[in-house]
Amino acid sequence: MPIHGFGEIAEQLRRSTVLVSPGGRGNGSGVIWSADGVIVTNAHVARASQMRIQLWDGREFDAALVSRDTRRDLAELRITAANLPAVAAADSSQVRPGELAIAIGNPLGFVGALTTGVVHAVGPLRRFGSEPWVQADVRLAPGNSGGPLADARGRVIGINTMVAGRLALAVPSNAVTNFLASDPIDAWLGVMVAPVRVPRPGSRSNAFGLVLLEVEPDSPAANASLLLGDILLGTDEKSFTSLDDLASSLQGSGPRLLRLAFLRGDYERFRRVTVRLGAQRIPRSAAAA
């Protein structure tokens, strides 16, 4: 069944979608959330304190990182601009399976690419923590991360984040609204991790760990000399049993220290490192130069 005004809806979504260039390799997408310069993208896209934003009309701006939440994989950027074509957000709690889903982004260098599908579910997934996801069968590729997932009326129901099996996963729009309404927190460690089972010397059971797959330059992890292949085991207060435990240990605001236990090449020798968190961020009321 054709959707009345679909071409216009798609065009508006394209105009509200931006290209995010964090520097180095790879670009991502972002969503103009407010007309005064607030851009929402994924935390894994916003890998630097200063980034470059390209609008649909070709204009480019420097963007400053305002806030970043690795637990929900969200980041807020700000550019110095006004009267931007902002999106309208839907209530993601009202999204139902079978609804049309429209994804816009910049996959593999194709700016403003559109793909459609249907929503399969809204809720948590095994192996992805307890937070809900909008799950849809739209086709995503590298570069789609941070772009909008919208309904048939063009209202954003989520921020496209990753692919799991044959489904695209998007952070629900209600989670984005809550993220933007909360006080800025700096829960950035600067790593990409994967869960692993670590043999315990003298025991038949294995311990839970998080192996570092990527350490971002100039991040708190890099400044603490953590390396690729290190396995995080926990903090001084608690051993990790899930990815959520690491995310919880990073929560807070302002400068602070976090002690982490980890392994490096030897399962019998536990190491500890102190990480400095809470690097100063630009306040929400300020604009990027």
Per-residue model confidence as pLDDT tens digits over 119-134: 999 998 877 777 899 9
4 is catalytic: no
Check pLDDT > 50 for residue 282.
no
**Residue 73: active-site member:** yes
Catalytic-labelled residue, pool 29, 69, 73, 219? 73
Contact 134, 122 (CB under 8 A): yes
Q: Which of 16, 21, 44, 230 is catalytic?
A: 44
pLDDT at 226: 95
Average pLDDT of 211-222?
Answer: 88
To the query of whether residue 137 is one of the catalytic residues in this protein, the response is: no
Over residues 238-278, the pLDDT tens digits come to 999 887 788 888 877 778 899 999 999 887 788 999 999 87
Long-range contacts from 222-225, C-beta under 8 angstroms, 24+ separation: 222/190, 223/275, 223/276, 224/260, 224/273, 224/274, 224/275, 224/276, 225/273
Average pLDDT over residues 198-203: 75
Q: Which region among 3-7, 72-76, 108-112, 143-147 has the lowest average model confidence (pLDDT)?
A: 3-7
Cα–Cα dist 265/240, whole Å: 19
Query: How confident is the model at residue 242, as a pLDDT?
Result: 83
Neighbours of 184 (CB within 10 A): 17
Cα gap 124→151, rounded to integer Å: 20
Tens-digit pLDDT profile for residues 16-66? 999 999 876 678 999 999 999 999 999 889 877 779 999 999 999 999 988
Q: Which residues of 26-61 are buried (b: 16+ CB within 10 A; e: fewer)?
A: ebbbbbbbeeebbbbbbbbbbbbbebbbbbbeeeeb
> What torsion, rounded to 10 degrees, do the Cα atoms 181, 185, 190, 192 define?
-50
Domains of the chain: 8-78 (2.40.10.10), 92-181 (2.40.10.10), 191-277 (2.30.42.10)
Gyration radius from the chain CA atoms: 20
Phi, psi (deg, nearest 5) at residue 14: -60, -45
Q: Model's pTM, two decimal places?
A: 0.71
- Kindly indicate the confidence band of residue 169, based on its pLDDT and cuts at 50, 70 and 90: very high
pLDDT, averaged across the chain: 87
Active-site entry in 145, 173, 219, 249: 145
